[in-house]
Structure 1
Amino acid sequence: MSSNDSARFAPRGGASLAHQALDAQAALLPYALVAFVVSMPVFVWAGSYADNAAWMTASFALFALACGATYVAVSWLRTPAADDLRARSRVHIVTGLVWAGCVAQIAAFADGAGPMRETLLLMATAAAVICIFFTAPWLPSLLVVGAAAAAGPLVALFSSPHSQNAATLAWGGVALAFALALMLNRVLRRQFAMAAEREVLIAERAGKVEEASRLARSKSDLVATLSHEIRNGLTGVSHVLAAAAGRNGRAAPSREQLSAALDAVSDLIAVLNTTLDSETAEAGRLAVDIRPLDTPGLVRDLMLLNRPLAGAKGLELSVYVAPELAEGPGAALGDPARVRQILANLIGNAIKFTVRGRVEARLSLTPEGRVLIEIADTGPGLSNTELAQAFEAFHRVERTSAGVPGAGLGLSLSRQLARLMNGELTATSAPGVGSCFGLVLAFDPHAAAPLDLAPENPADSSGEGRKLRILMAEDDSLNAAMMRAVLEQLGHQVVHAQDGRRAVDLARVCEFDLALIDGRMPGLDGPEATAAIRALDGPASDLPIIAVIGGDAGEALECTQAGADAVLRKPVSVTAVARAVADATAASRRAVIRKIA
Structure 2
Amino acid sequence: MSSNADSRRAAPLRGGASFSHQSLEAQTALLPYALAAFAISLPVYVWAGSFAPNTAWMTASFALFAIACGATYAAVSWLKTEAAADLGRRARVHILTGLIWAGCVAQIAAFAHQAGPMREPLLMMATAAAVVCIFFTAPWLPSLLVVGAAAAAGPLIALFAHPESEGAATLAWGAVALAFALALILNRILRRQFALASEREVLIADRAGKVEEASRLAQSKSDLVATLSHEIRNGLTGVAHVLASAAGRNGRAAPSREQLSAALDAVNDLIAVLNTTLDSETAEAGRLAVDIRPIDAAALVRDLVLLNRPHAAAKGLELTLHVPAELSEGRGAALGDATRVRQILANLIGNAIKFTVRGRVEARLEITEAGRLAVEVADTGPGLSPEELSRAFEAFHRVERTSAGVPGAGLGLSLSRQLARLMHGELKASSAPGVGSCFRLELPFDATASGDTPEFEDAAALPAQDRRKLRILVAEDDGLNAAMLRAVLEQLGHQIVHAADGRRATDLARVCEFDLAMIDGRMPGLDGPQATAEIRRFEGAAGRLPIIAVIGGDAEEAQECLEAGADAVLRKPVTVTAVARAVADATARSGQEAGRRVA
With the length of structure 1 as denominator, give the TM-score of the two structures. 0.85
- Within a 5 Å distance, the mapping from 1:417-496 to structure 2 comes to 417-451=419-453, 458-460=460-462, 465-470=467-472, 478-494=480-496
Deviations 1:241-283 (A, max 9, x none): 3333444333333332222222212211111111001100111
Partner SS, residue 489 of structure 2: helix
2:351 to 332, 349, 352: 349
| Cα distance in structure 1, aligned partners of 2:558 and 2:288 | 10
Structure 2: give runs of 5+ residues left out of the alignment: 1-5
1:156 aligns with 2:134: no
What residue is the counterpart of 2:57 in the other structure?
Answer: 55
Gap change, CA 1:188 and 1:262, over 3 Å in 2: same
Range with greater deviation from structure 2 (168-177 or 5-14): 5-14
Q: Residue 488 of structure 2 contacts residue 579 of structure 2 at CA under 8 Å; is this kept in 1?
A: no
Count residues with an aligned counterpart: 581
Gap change, CA 1:459 and 1:175, over 3 Å in 2: closer
- Within a 5 Å distance, the mapping from 1:281-320 to structure 2 comes to 281-320=283-322
Return the offset for 1:506.
7.0
Deviations 1:190-218 (A, max 9, x none): 22112212221221122122212211221
Partner SS, residue 405 of structure 1: coil
What residue is the counterpart of 2:122 in the other structure?
Answer: 120
| Cα distance in structure 1, aligned partners of 2:487 and 2:588 | 29
Return the offset for 1:566.
9.0
1:580 aligns with 2:582: no
Return the offset for 1:123.
0.7
| Cα distance in structure 2, aligned partners of 1:71 and 1:229 | 68
Q: Residue 323 of structure 2 contacts residue 366 of structure 2 at CA under 8 Å; is this kept in 1?
A: yes
- Within a 5 Å distance, the mapping from 1:558-597 to structure 2 comes to 569-572=571-574, 577-583=575-581
Return the offset for 1:422.
1.2
Q: Residue 295 of structure 2 contacts residue 453 of structure 2 at CA under 8 Å; is this kept in 1?
A: no
Return the offset for 1:390.
1.8
| Cα distance in structure 1, aligned partners of 2:378 and 2:14 | 49
| Cα distance in structure 2, aligned partners of 1:248 and 1:90 | 89
What residue is the counterpart of 1:188 in the other structure?
Answer: 190
Partner SS, residue 96 of structure 1: helix
What residue is the counterpart of 1:105 in the other structure?
Answer: 107
Deviations 1:443-483 (A, max 9, x none): 11111123578599845489995434556565656534432
Q: Residue 528 of structure 2 contacts residue 561 of structure 2 at CA under 8 Å; is this kept in 1?
A: no
What residue is the counterpart of 2:393 in the other structure?
Answer: 391
Deviations 1:506-544 (A, max 9, x none): 79x97847x766676799878x989x99xxx99x9997x
| Cα distance in structure 2, aligned partners of 1:355 and 1:134 | 76
| Cα distance in structure 1, aligned partners of 2:302 and 2:532 | 35
What residue is the counterpart of 1:18 in the other structure?
Answer: 20
| Cα distance in structure 2, aligned partners of 1:421 and 1:111 | 78
Q: Residue 279 of structure 2 contacts residue 415 of structure 2 at CA under 8 Å; is this kept in 1?
A: yes
What residue is the counterpart of 1:32 in the other structure?
Answer: 34
| Cα distance in structure 1, aligned partners of 2:7 and 2:318 | 63
Write the letter of the residue equivalent to 1:47. G
Return the offset for 1:22.
0.8
Range with greater deviation from structure 2 (115-124 or 168-177): 168-177
Gap change, CA 1:5 and 1:273, over 3 Å in 2: closer
Deviations 1:157-193 (A, max 9, x none): 2232222222222222222222221221122112211
Q: Residue 229 of structure 1 contacts residue 406 of structure 1 at CA under 8 Å; is this kept in 2?
A: yes
Return the offset for 1:341.
1.2
Gap change, CA 1:469 and 1:349, over 3 Å in 2: farther
Q: Residue 381 of structure 1 contacts residue 433 of structure 1 at CA under 8 Å; is this kept in 2?
A: yes
Write the letter of the residue equivalent to 1:77. L
Partner SS, residue 317 of structure 1: strand
Write the letter of the residue equivalent to 1:256. E
1:94 aligns with 2:96: yes
Partner SS, residue 429 of structure 2: strand
Gap change, CA 1:307 and 1:202, over 3 Å in 2: same
Write the letter of the residue equivalent to 2:331. P
Partner SS, residue 407 of structure 2: coil
What residue is the counterpart of 2:167 in the other structure?
Answer: 165
Write the letter of the residue equivalent to 1:580. A
| Cα distance in structure 1, aligned partners of 2:79 and 2:411 | 51
With the length of structure 2 as denominator, give the TM-score of the two structures. 0.85
- Within a 5 Å distance, the mapping from 1:526-541 to structure 2 comes to none
Write the letter of the residue equivalent to 1:175. A
| Cα distance in structure 2, aligned partners of 1:556 and 1:349 | 35
Gap change, CA 1:474 and 1:270, over 3 Å in 2: same
What residue is the counterpart of 1:402 in the other structure?
Answer: 404
Return the offset for 1:379.
2.6
Partner SS, residue 428 of structure 1: strand
Return the offset for 1:75.
2.2
| Cα distance in structure 1, aligned partners of 2:359 and 2:433 | 15
Structure 1: give runs of 5+ residues left out of the alignment: none
| Cα distance in structure 1, aligned partners of 2:545 and 2:316 | 44
What residue is the counterpart of 2:201 in the other structure?
Answer: 199
1:335 to 337, 340, 346: 337
Q: Residue 287 of structure 1 contacts residue 553 of structure 1 at CA under 8 Å; is this kept in 2?
A: no
Write the letter of the residue equivalent to 1:350. A
Deviations 1:19-65 (A, max 9, x none): 11111111111111111111111111111111222222222222122
- Within a 5 Å distance, the mapping from 1:159-308 to structure 2 comes to 159-308=161-310
| Cα distance in structure 2, aligned partners of 1:442 and 1:542 | 43
| Cα distance in structure 1, aligned partners of 2:565 and 2:425 | 27
CA RMSD of aligned residues (A): 4.1
Deviations 1:309-356 (A, max 9, x none): 233323333322210101152111111111111122122222222233
Write the letter of the residue equivalent to 2:290. V
Return the offset for 1:417.
0.9
Q: Residue 139 of structure 2 contacts residue 190 of structure 2 at CA under 8 Å; is this kept in 1?
A: yes
